[in-house]
Structure 1
Amino acid sequence: MSAIGPIRQLGYVTQDVEAAAMHWINKGIAGPFFLMKGAVFGEWNSEGKTASATLDIAFGQSGDVMIELITPRDGALDLYRSELLKTRICNPHHLGYLVKDLEAVGQSLDTEKRVVRATLDSKNYFEYYDTRPLFGQFTEIIQDCPENQQFIDFAKKAASEWDGKTEPLREASSLG
């Protein structure tokens, strides 16, 4: 698994992305968080069935690792259901890796089951693999494209310049 690179993202499922983000912020672990409420994934292919999915998502940085908080709204509930039923503020869901060649890395995970391939837009692809038997959570591989790198760089810069108090929750539209 180390051949695909360092872990770039820790994903958590929560019932409320804003409350979960404030938990991370108040503990001084990550922030600020950028909110994408009602993010629609037009292509959500889950185990051979294509649909759309709507999620509330918050992203914040903790050093070089992005923290992703997810609340499924519709269409993606199966992938998140077991974690959503837990009562913790944040429930571990996935390890995320930024990769240049999504197909090649996906093939290297051939002992695992791909459970989702999705797009947010025409350039932003990601896939989830069921690696729970190995790591206790899913593995997400994310297309390394200029748009995703720009998003990561912006979030890292925001975190490094943040005073820990001003605008702890920000709309993702402020990403520029």
Structure 2
Amino acid sequence: MTDPLPIRQIAYFVPDVRAAALRHHQLFGSGPYYVAAHIPLSRAVHRGVERELDHTSAYGQWGSVMIEFVQQNNPGPSAFHDMYDEGSGKEGIHHVALFVDSVQDAIDRYTAAGFEIALDAAMADGFRFAFVDTVAAYGHMLELYEPVESLTGFYDFVAKKAGRFDADKPDGGVLVDISLG
């Protein structure tokens, strides 16, 4: 048995990350949201097939958990479209994220337990992450990544900025553009 892994992030698939982040902020007071457009990936293997994956995400804090809103910018099969058919207009929870000691060891453990890997990907800087298809068992996927400094630093940054909005901005400082990669 392994030690319990706390949920670090809840991610929702949406058609427009900016609109979703603003709506969540208005309902729950979350944010501000840091919006990264067209996040560069060096590799995206969807169910064993190398594919393009162009996505945009908005990251904000809601209490003790990070919230991510993610949209897919390009057409085609993906771990996102596995749950929400392309062009359907449907949206909802997609995954929860966990920090693991080793992405490969966790992949091996989940596949041995009968789960498929929906996505094995790497950022432009080589940072690896994976989506485990646990939809039938839990209603969402799991995102796995190792808590490297660049990631934990980003999580800490978003958490420290929680509730700090720039009222002089047109949207009240809820949305802040950033670049990843």
Alignment pair present for 1:122 and 2:125: yes
Q: In 2 relative to 1, CA 65–45 (structure 1 residues): closer, same or farther, beyond 3 Å?
A: same
How much does 1:73 deviate?
Answer: 1.1
Q: In 2 relative to 1, CA 24–77 (structure 1 residues): closer, same or farther, beyond 3 Å?
A: farther
| Higher strand fraction (1 or 2) | 1
> Gapped runs of 5+ residues in structure 2?
none
- Sequence identity (%): 23
| Higher helix fraction (1 or 2) | 1
State the match for 1:49 in structure 2.
49
Equivalent pair of 2:32/2:165 in contact (CA under 8 Å): no
State the match for 2:66 in structure 1.
66
Matches of 1:98 and 1:164 in 2, distance apart? 31
Alignment pair present for 1:145 and 2:151: no
Matches of 2:165 and 2:72 in 1, distance apart? 30
TM-score of the pair, normalised by structure 1:
0.87
Matches of 1:164 and 1:105 in 2, distance apart? 40
Matches of 2:2 and 2:89 in 1, distance apart? 32
Matches of 2:29 and 2:173 in 1, distance apart? 16
How much does 1:106 deviate?
Answer: 1.6
Q: In 2 relative to 1, CA 150–116 (structure 1 residues): closer, same or farther, beyond 3 Å?
A: same
Residues paired across the two proteins, number? 172
Matches of 1:77 and 1:98 in 2, distance apart? 26
Letter in 2 for 1:150: G
Matches of 2:6 and 2:69 in 1, distance apart? 19
Matches of 1:115 and 1:30 in 2, distance apart? 29
